[in-house]
Amino acid sequence: MLTVLQILEFGQSHLVSKTQLLQENSFTSVLGDPGMKSPNSRFAFEAWNFCNEVGMEAPKMGSPRLADCADLYCPDIADESNSSFADEKTKCAVHQKVKESDNKLRAGDGFPSSEFKSSTDPDIYAVEKELYLGSLCEAPDSAEYWYFWMIMLKNGNFDKNTTLCPENGKKVDKIVTDRSFPCFGEGCMNQPLVYHNQSKVVSFVDSNVSMVGGFYGTYDLDADLSAGVGKNSFFSASWKKNSNTSSWIVSQKLTTSAKYPWLMLYLRADAAEGFNGGYHYNGRGIMKKLPVSPNFKVRLTLDVKQGGGPNSQFYMVDIGSCWKNNGDPCDGDVLTDVTRYSEMIINPATTSWCRPDNLVSCPPYHMSSTGEMIRRNDTSRFPYSAYHLYCAPGNARFLEKPYDICDPYSNPQAQELVQILPHREWAVHGYPERKGDGWVGDSRTWELDTGALSSRLYFYQDPGTKPAKRVWTSINVGTEIYVSPSGATAEWSVSDFDVLVPNSVEEGRKEYM
């Protein structure tokens, strides 16, 4: 017989479960692969130089855009009463939608489809190649198409003796700056050697069948990875299924080297079409609709195995978008467009550069969870430790002193950064509250009210203009290992990744895509 206390506890747990169910049913995924549970692989790879361009392709490599899109076909054993599942699983086949010859296409090569135009310019060709690979991978979902998860790799070397990178979107004849950037000399902005393990069938101990695959490589062009990584730079991104949840587990690893001390590696959920965070051209991604502040959530499971050292700015999550300083959506004009980023850094070694004695690294004000505006010079109330740094767009005309502009070279247009740290101010939205939360040894499934948090953040806007609609075109997880020449290594995995919007809220409009 149940006691009164047991009955009350049962009733309470039942109510919680019902509430959770109602909450689940009130949200809809905007991803083509909700929770990463598609049985088919939809992964693409992109590599960039410092200013999100190609510049030059690596020797004997194609344009640095690749894809692994494979459909898993297994026989229906319901009608095969005389065959065991163990027999039938061996008949499962992988249908590759992208050929290795597609991945090896390089600037100047013609595309197999006349719909896509070749170019000898490596920057222009890479843009077109991404669209071509997308056409091979596109997955119709009702009237909407989606394409792939994007694995992004970026080289932080910057040769100030070249003019490959514009300054706040403006082409310049000579780079004149007192900022310090790593570069071992001519050629330091090269693209990587990239190798592909094409998706193939594997089976689990419980007889389930799935696929595994991945990309890996190095920026050190003289490296022989068959002899091991050694002191070379290294990256890898591989995928396999979690047999319990059916989610893809995307495992990533990144190692810096003496020649390549500043590297970035992310898993990105990008807009299915249109501008993605940090770019100024039409790209391809997995978000069918765009999330808008304050009405969206991000769910993911993160397992950090190695942190990457004290300079590893591990982002959970990095959200990116683009709007002009007058609040209008971006239109591709790199002189007036501004990339906006908000990044939660969970590495406990990352300190707050925003301090009472360094207001230049703080946003002009903080908006509390109750809607109260707190100025950065209010030293008794401003939560300095909630921020790593803030920097303003280099094309803003009415900045409040003191200010520092963001690096003017690492994006094709001006950029604005709000980098935040674990803090009780953000914990109300499901984010880490204390240093170490979610870090090495603390694998968790997170449900982040990213929309609510992002609506509170300060972003610059010209006085007297209509507030920008904060529509986010990229949501990323991964690390930026900042200038670590001794060979720092970060290793982590992401699964159950999803972006959710309330059913009652209209998602991002086409004009933003």
SS3 content of the chain, % helix, strand, coil (to 5): 15, 35, 50
Residue 17: how many CB atoms within 10 A of its CB? Answer: 10
Residue 456: closest CA among 305, 342, 351, 315? 342
pLDDT band at 220 (very low <50, low <70, confident <90, very high): very high
| CA dihedral sign of residues 165, 170, 171, 177 | negative
Amino acid at 490: A
Phi, psi for 396 (deg, rounded to 5): -80, 140
Give pLDDT, residue 204.
Answer: 63
Share of the chain above pLDDT 90, in %: 83
Task: Give 392-430 pLDDT, tens digit per residue.
Answer: 999 999 999 999 999 999 999 999 999 999 999 999 999
Task: Give 62-81 pLDDT, tens digit per residue.
Answer: 999 999 999 999 876 444 44
Residue 5: pLDDT over 50: no
Among 272-276, 310-314, 375-379, which is the least confidently predicted range?
272-276
pLDDT band at 482 (very low <50, low <70, confident <90, very high): very high
Q: Is 347 in contact with 422 (CB distance < 8 Å)? A: no
Q: Which residue has the tokens 């082409």?
A: 171
Number of H helices, E strands in the chain: 6, 22
Residue 133: closest CA among 66, 200, 70, 193? 66
Identify the three-state secondary structure at position 280: coil
Residues in the chain: 513
Q: What is the reported pTM?
A: 0.91
Identify the three-state secondary structure at position 501: strand
Task: Give 134-179 pLDDT, tens digit per residue.
Answer: 999 998 777 789 999 999 999 999 999 999 999 999 999 999 999 9
Q: Identify any residues that bridge with 253 across adjacent strands, giving them in sequence order.
A: 236, 491
One DSSP character per residue, 231-259 reads TS-EEEEEEEE-TTT--EEEEEEEE--SS
| Paired tokens of 312 | 């590893």
One DSSP character per residue, 24-93 reads HHTEEE-BSSGGG--SSEEEEEEEE-TTSS--SPPTT---SEEEEEEEEE---GGG-TTS-HHHHHTT-E
One DSSP character per residue, 251-286 reads EEEEE--SS---EEEEEEEEBSSB--TT-SS-B--S
Residue 19: pLDDT over 90: no
**Calpha distance 100→66 (Å, rounded):** 9
Average pLDDT, the chain: 90
Task: Give 267-304 pLDDT, tens digit per residue.
Answer: 999 999 988 877 888 999 999 999 999 999 999 999 99
Q: Which of 15-24, 274-283, 286-295, 497-506 has the highest mean pLDDT?
A: 286-295
Give pLDDT, residue 276.
Answer: 86
pLDDT, mean of residues 255-277: 95
Amino acid at 451: G
Amino acid at 374: I
pLDDT band at 86 (very low <50, low <70, confident <90, very high): very low
| Paired tokens of 461 | 């806007």
